[in-house]
Amino acid sequence: PLFAYGYGRIRQLGVKSVMGLPGDMNLELLHYMKDTDLRWVGNSNELNAAYAADGYSRISGGPGVLLTTMAVGELSAMNGIAGSYAENVKIIHVVAATGKMAQESKVVMHHTLGSSPNHRIFEKMSAPVRVAHCYLDDEKIAAQEIDRAIHECHIQSRPVYIYVPVDMVHKSISSATLEQPLLSSRPESPESTKFQDSALDAVSSAIYESKNPVLLVDSHVIQFGAKDIVRELADNLQFPVFCPFMGKSIIDEKKTYFYGTYNGKFSYPGIQKAVEEDSDLVIHLGPLPTDMNTGGYTARVDPKKLVSVEETKVIVKGDVFEIVYLKSFITSLLSSLNATKLPKPHPLTISPPPEPEDATSTEITQSYLWPRLGTFLRDDDVLFADGGTTHFGLQDATLPDITYVMQNHWASIGYATPASFGGALALQDIGVGGKGRGRVVLITGEGALQLSVQEVGSMVREGLDVIMFLLLDFTQADRVGYHDIATWDHRHMLSFFGVPDGEKRTHQVRTKEELETVLGLPEMITPKGNQVIEIYVDKMDFPWRLKAFGKAYRDMKG
């Protein structure tokens, strides 16, 4: 059958779990999945399925896969797919469509728009959030079309769509090309080799001539599969390393050459000066210059001393080398550097952060909470954090060697809970880069949870062990009412989703002493099933970066 080929390719990519929802148009597709060793993981809604596929991809390193029905399911998932596109996450979205005859006749069917409907109008709607798509309406070329879409997903690290008309599902196609491996990288050409060699010469010379170089390690290092090689490069160079907002945790923060978060003027004292003024060379690996990642565009490195290694090009002090690819270039740079010519910069002196004014408070404060959660984490843990307060607060935590997932650029509130579900499945399926399995930790807020709470039920159904830290307000401070949400009694959440002892797994903490007690419980060290920790913080207490960034953002808007 036609999509048995697609399932075969998906399985070859290391995928073991497929997200989605059943619907009348995809039931036949699901029927053929039973003949594979892929696991169907039904989600609570299509948006959550897209978030879960994103989380699966970020942990596995391969694509996340979801299967929906055209139109109603496809469009419901699109916000999640857009986030994956914005943040360069590999997603294969399989969409079951109406049959070819119905399309050609413009039959008025459910899931279509108006009279004489164009059944393929939804295909046009997804165009801005994908890098490739195929419509499997010709069995003669279906296999090569599937391969083409999956190849583009892999090399561009962004979503692709595969549309399968319902009357094509049973068509027979040859599986012979399954024996041929998919291309895992962009094919080399004489032109790309020439540009890469020129870029290597330019970057090597810049390094050898520098006296005070620094490395900035950013988020595209992760999305284009270069984390391990970048860590090896950092170990070899021993240059001072900083990570922008979205690069946090790429470098093990216990390393002596790691000096913290570079976020323009929202960095700790001394960091912006060390990067922008005191260095004579800044090597920025995998940059993503968003408002959040640049401290509201206050990160300003002189282009005359900047080396920028990007997805498809390298810029050396203003000179641009096109058709040079990030992972390939960094790999070649590591192998070609002459250790005897490398500069040996002195260790930097960065002042420790000032002691917060509320350090003696017995209540849980933002200044206390985030560093403390950093020490709770341990090597090999996987951390998912929702947007807003959490992203800003965690920059003050010193993280062990963990995998930290945040959707900082697209910043769709409610993302983290379903993404942690997908990530926990990936950890169960494959593990993180072959390393030991750590804990899955989720940090979210009560408002974000209300957007996607249904996937907690999916965690329970699949028997996953997720530690959920849930931030709640404990004051009703005077402010505009449009931020207010319904008050939920989270003590009953796990029980509602079918956990017999759910209330015993839910902990409420309002003071530092109570939090310390809960963090030391055996079920926090080795969780079995979900654990929920409600952390009450003052509604008007914010991480210092969030306060400062909010002011800068208001100023930026004029």
> What integer best gives the mean pLDDT of the chain?
93
Domain with CATH 3.40.50.1220 in the chain: 190-341
Is 70 exceeded by the pLDDT of residue 433?
A: no
Q: Which CATH number fits domain 2-179: 3.40.50.970, 1.20.58.220, 2.40.50.140, 3.40.50.300?
A: 3.40.50.970
- In terms of Cβ atoms closer than 10 Å to its own Cβ (0-12, 13-18, 19+), residue 557 is exposed
- The predicted structure's pLDDT at residue 556: 65
Q: Mean of the pLDDT values across residues 263-292?
A: 96
Calpha distance 399→249 (Å, rounded): 7
Instruction: List the 281-285 sheet strands across, edge first.
Output: 258-261, 241-243, 213-217, 281-285, 306-309, 313-316, 319-322
Calpha distance 473→46 (Å, rounded): 30
- The predicted structure's pLDDT at residue 189: 85
Q: What residue spans of 39-189 are helical by DSSP H?
A: 46-60, 72-76, 78-86, 100-105, 121-125, 142-156
Is 60 exceeded by the pLDDT of residue 127?
A: yes
The mean-pLDDT minimum among 258-267, 458-467, 538-547 falls in 538-547
Which CATH architecture fits 190-341?
3-Layer(aba) Sandwich (3.40)
With a CB cutoff of 8 Å and minimum separation 6, the contacts of 141 are none
Would you place residue 142 in the very low, low, confident or very high pLDDT band (cuts 50, 70, 90)?
very high
Is 50 exceeded by the pLDDT of residue 434?
A: no
Q: Mean of the pLDDT values across residues 423-449?
A: 85
Is 60 exceeded by the pLDDT of residue 36?
A: yes
Q: Mean of the pLDDT values across residues 362-386?
A: 96
The 10s digit of each residue's pLDDT in 324-351 is: 999 999 999 999 999 999 999 988 988 8
Distance set, CA 160 to CA 173, 209, 291 (Å): 21, 43, 26
Distance set, CA 262 to CA 51, 207, 215, 294, 354 (Å): 28, 21, 11, 8, 17
Q: Mean of the pLDDT values across residues 382-392?
A: 93
Under DSSP, the state recorded for 289 is -
The 10s digit of each residue's pLDDT in 95-126 is: 999 999 999 999 999 999 989 999 999 999 99
Q: Mean of the pLDDT values across residues 507-536?
A: 96
pTM beyond 0.75, yes or no: yes
Would you place residue 187 in the very low, low, confident or very high pLDDT band (cuts 50, 70, 90)?
confident
Is 60 exceeded by the pLDDT of residue 134?
A: yes
Is 60 exceeded by the pLDDT of residue 138?
A: yes
Is 70 exceeded by the pLDDT of residue 27?
A: yes
Question: What percent of the chain lies above the pLDDT cut of 70?
Answer: 96
The mean-pLDDT minimum among 249-263, 452-466, 477-491 falls in 477-491
* CATH entry 3.40.50.970 includes domain 366-547: yes
Domain with CATH 3.40.50.970 in the chain: 2-179, 366-547
Judged by DSSP in three states, 13 sits in coil
Q: Are 261 and 284 in contact (CB under 8 A)?
A: no
Taking phi first (over 0 means left), then psi (-120 to 50 degrees means alpha), and beta for anything else, what does residue 484 get? beta
